[in-house]
Amino acid sequence: MVNNFDQIEKLLKFEKKDDCYYVQLLRRQSDDPMIDGKPDPAYHGNMHSRSLKDYLISSIEQFRDLRKEMITLCDTFNVRAYIRLNKRNYKNISTKMLKQIADQIDSGETYCSPYHLIASAIGSTCQAGKAKTWILDLDAEYLPHKDIIYQIILQCEPVKTMWEEYVKNYADMPEGGWVNGFIKQHFTEIQTKHGIHIISRTFNKQAFAMAWNKYCVENHVTAPLPQVKVDTEKGVSHWSLTDKYLKHASHFAYILQSSGVTATIDKVDKNKTIIHSGICDQHALEDAWHTYCLENTFWMKQPDMHKDNPSVLYCP
């Protein structure tokens, strides 16, 4: 269970009368129970289709009052509460909705659900201005590289200039060192179910990507094993392959078979493949997969970066 209500409350700033924050209770794709290895459609698709309930929070008091309700719904329906830490405001949401309605009328095409229009308008009207933040999503496999990730960010503009000014303005080293002092002042870490979200100001993504790729090549940081759900009672593992893993599906199945278990490929759709296998020795599999990735230069991808995605408020 992850409960970030107290930490996130300190980050909320209501400076104008119509300021608000967007909260969604979402079915997370990784929480799909996948009964018998089959995806549940309710946990997939866009954010609107996976949302159990949406909120617009317009005050700290409302945020506190809704806390119990959100937690109860999350626990009952196996969903997570997510909040976008970049502010919205009612005026811009209303204006965006009016534009979308006018565009639909003008096009003469099939109308979408009004509920979808509302969610779309709220999701696309960030009003944080210069205070806008990004999210770096670090799951467990990235945590051993967290210090390197911070060091790379500190070399990307405009954070690099901020970092240099910070060091210049300190006559004596702050407690814990300059790096830790700067990170504490300019970044926030929010716990997720399997890692952390780093809340950061914007920086040069291209420079970050180049530095990250160089680090992975020089240090042999390969792609981790695909996500897996293990049914110990039936002795079956269900490996979910998406994104760059898709072109390696047949090779991964071969590695599984080489470890002495059966493996069958189930192509769910063009964006997802599931490999069903027996349960094999994890360490031996990791070694074999690492060797394959080294031979095929399949490096760990850079952490996911989101310009306005939600962070975790609560999950069971």
Tell me whether residue 221 is exposed, middle or buried, using C-beta atoms within 10 angstroms of its C-beta: 0 to 12, 13 to 18, 19 or more: buried
In the chain, the number of structural domains is 3
The answer as to whether 253 is a domain residue is yes
- Quote the domain boundaries for residue 262: 227-295
The answer as to whether 217 is a domain residue is no
Instruction: Check residue 130 and give its pLDDT.
Output: 81
CATH, residue 251 = 3.30.1370
168 and 113 within one domain = no
What tens-digit pLDDT sequence spans the chain (316 residues)?
Answer: 999 999 999 999 998 889 999 999 998 877 777 777 788 777 776 666 688 999 999 999 999 999 999 999 999 999 999 999 999 999 999 999 888 888 878 777 677 777 788 888 888 888 888 888 999 999 999 999 999 999 999 999 999 999 998 888 776 666 667 788 889 889 999 999 999 999 998 999 999 999 999 999 999 999 999 999 999 999 999 999 999 999 999 999 999 999 999 999 999 888 889 999 999 999 999 999 999 999 999 999 999 998 888 999 999 9
- Measured torsion, CA atoms of residues 247, 248, 250, 256, in degrees rounded to the nearest 10: -160
The answer as to whether 313 is a domain residue is no
Query: How far is residue 252 CA from its own chain's centroid?
Result: 25
26 pairs with which residues across the strands?
Answer: 51, 80
The answer as to whether 268 is a domain residue is yes
Question: Phi/psi of residue 73, each to 5°?
Answer: -65, -40
255 and 160 within one domain = no
- Half-sphere exposure in the Cβ direction for 23 (13 Å, CA): 27
138 and 109 within one domain = no
Of 99, 129, 159, the last residue of a domain is 129
Cα 305 to Cα 82, 174, 229, 243, 315: the distances in Å are: 16, 29, 25, 15, 21
Instruction: Check residue 176 and give its pLDDT.
Output: 66
> Would you say 44 and 28 are in contact if contact means Cβ atoms under 8 Å apart?
no
Instruction: Check residue 51 and give its pLDDT.
Output: 84
264 and 172 within one domain = no
94 and 22 within one domain = yes
152 and 123 within one domain = no
